């Protein structure tokens, strides 16, 4: 049976497997014995490894940090880097975020596009090549990470305990070929408080790399608060709500989630609430100072201009900034910021510029920096992917740079390749995340033929 027929034969099973793995809530949680990122993530890894074993592929589980499925022979190895962990589901889904339901030709669920759908498609592509008895001169190894959304510790563990691919790609972004990824800088702006008078409690956001869709504040009630809120809502159109709770009030702020690398696509619930709190002068004197700083130096900006870091370059474009998490109480405050900075800049220089724009009592802490990643267009992997993509799709391949971070940045000679097709909406990290079945199958075919070109 030829490869085309085998691919067609596997389409229904591929769709079913994607639906099944989407039912596993693989959000990172507190570690358990033998499960460094919690049970859900370990369950997802074990699901795919059992599936790979049922296909007759060689597998390995590296202590539930990471696992792989492999086929072929040879000294050189093509790596396909995917991840099974997902960001939290957020709220207001039309369909269950862990239902794996199909509606109007789309599979809905957290991780459908980022990155479980593409991961399962890559696994089925390797199965199809095996079943077609394609002779490999290089091995193909699909590496299943479990901590991509929260630090990529899984791949660091892999690199300490296993083999670096000769070259590879990560189907965790867009087509055609992403040979550059901006630097990723995550840090906290913090402040300590001593003044307990008129203090409030503010919290919002779940992850630094998600635009927060909810934030809330608990504060003392004052005469005229409802009037002030109504006036603010009328002026801004922001969906804020007030709920009485004994002698306190809860003010709720709603936004729209988006990927932290595309903060301009979301509507930041934290920024909306901070804007209102600043306007009414809420909080103790020290809290007011922190709220004022966040409102004036970050606010609704997504380019870092007021912090003096609105940098850009010709290779990768503009810096982006996301205010992802905030926690403020009687004793301290913390705002967690996620920045994607251009390839020609350094993370330490950006932090230094931010420090120059801080005020007394606010400081930078918890700095994590992942430097930019760039693979030249004339490298063997880029040339090979260009040729294979054009053969499979009949469309011209080209390279570009993104603000998102993929596993490609962790490996040599590795780029991001798919799964989103040009012109399609970005749904990763958003409510009602989905993958179109038509696109899933198209990816399945592309991976199969690309791997055939790279490995045989």
DSSP assigned state of 405: -
Please report, for residues 85, 251, 288, 311, the alpha-carbon distance to residue 220 in angstroms, rounded to integers and kept in the order given: 40, 11, 14, 41
Q: DSSP letters of 85-154?
A: -B----S--SS-TTS-EEETTEEESTTIIIIIHHHHHHHHHHHHHHHTTPPPSSEEEEEEES-GGGT-HH
Q: Which of 85, 213, 433, 436 is catalytic?
A: 85
Active site (annotated) includes residue 162: no
For 235, phi then psi, to 5°, come to: -75, -40
Active site (annotated) includes residue 148: yes
418 Ramachandran zone, left/alpha/beta (phi>0; psi -120 to 50): left
* Distance from C-alpha of 116 to C-alpha of 409, rounded to nearest angstrom: 19
DSSP assigned state of 24: S
Contact 94, 430 (CB under 8 A): no
DSSP assigned state of 398: -
Q: DSSP letters of 173-208?
A: EESSEEEEE-EEEEEEEEEE----TT--EEEE-S-T
Q: Which of 114, 148, 301, 439 is catalytic?
A: 148
Contact 58, 70 (CB under 8 A): yes
* Distance from C-alpha of 49 to C-alpha of 52, rounded to nearest angstrom: 5
Burial status of residue 364 (CB atoms within 10 A of its CB: 0-12, 13-18, 19 or more): middle
Catalytic residues: 85, 148
């Amino acid at each position: 049976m030829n490869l085309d027929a085998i691919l067609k034969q596997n389409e229904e099973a591929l769709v079913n497997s994607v639906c099944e793995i989407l039912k596993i809530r693989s959000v990172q949680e507190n570690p358990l014995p033998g499960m460094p990122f919690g049970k859900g993530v370990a369950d997802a890894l074990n699901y795919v490894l059992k599936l790979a074993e049922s296909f007759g592929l060689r597998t390995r589980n590296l202590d539930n940090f990471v696992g792989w499925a492999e086929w072929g022979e040879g000294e050189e190895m093509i790596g396909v880097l995917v991840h099974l962990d997902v960001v939290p589901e957020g709220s207001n889904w039309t369909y269950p975020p862990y239902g794996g339901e199909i509606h109007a030709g789309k599979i809905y669920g957290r991780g459908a596009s980022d990155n479980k759908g593409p991961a399962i498609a890559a696994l089925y592509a390797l199965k199809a090549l095996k079943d077609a008895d394609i002779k490999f001169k290089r091995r193909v190894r699909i590496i299943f990470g479990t901590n991509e959304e929260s630090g990529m510790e899984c791949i660091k563990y892999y690199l300490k305990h296993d083999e670096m691919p000769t070259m590879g790609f990560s189907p965790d972004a867009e087509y055609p070929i992403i040979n550059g990824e901006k630097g990723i800088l995550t840090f906290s702006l913090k402040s300590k408080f001593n003044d307990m008078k008129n203090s409030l409690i503010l919290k919002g956001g779940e992850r630094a790399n998600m635009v927060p869709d909810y934030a809330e504040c608990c504060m003392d009630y004052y005469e005229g608060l409802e009037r002030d809120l109504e006036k603010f809502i009328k002026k801004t159109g922001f969906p804020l709500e007030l709920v009485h709770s004994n002698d306190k009030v809860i003010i709720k702020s709603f936004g729209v989630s988006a990927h932290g690398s595309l903060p301009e696509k979301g509507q930041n619930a934290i920024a909306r609430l901070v804007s209102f709190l600043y306007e009414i002068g809420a909080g103790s004197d020290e809290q007011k100072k922190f709220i004022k700083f966040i409102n004036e130096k970050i606010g609704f900006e997504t380019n870092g201009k007021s912090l003096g870091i609105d940098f850009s370059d010709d290779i990768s474009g503009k810096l982006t900034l996301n205010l992802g998490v905030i926690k403020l109480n009687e004793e301290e405050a913390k705002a967690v910021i996620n920045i994607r900075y251009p390839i020609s800049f350094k993370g330490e220089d950006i932090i230094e510029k931010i420090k120059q724009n801080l005020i007394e009592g606010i400081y930078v802490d918890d700095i994590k920096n992942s430097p930019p990643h760039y693979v030249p267009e004339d490298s063997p992997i880029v040339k090979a992917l260009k040729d294979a993509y054009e053969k499979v799709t009949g469309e011209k391949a080209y390279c570009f740079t993104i603000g998102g971070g993929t596993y490609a940045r962790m490996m040599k000679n590795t780029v991001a390749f798919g799964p989103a097709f040009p012109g399609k909406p970005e749904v990763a990290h958003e409510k009602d995340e989905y993958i179109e079945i038509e696109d899933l199958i198209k990816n399945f075919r592309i991976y199969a033929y690309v791997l055939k070109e790279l490995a045989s």
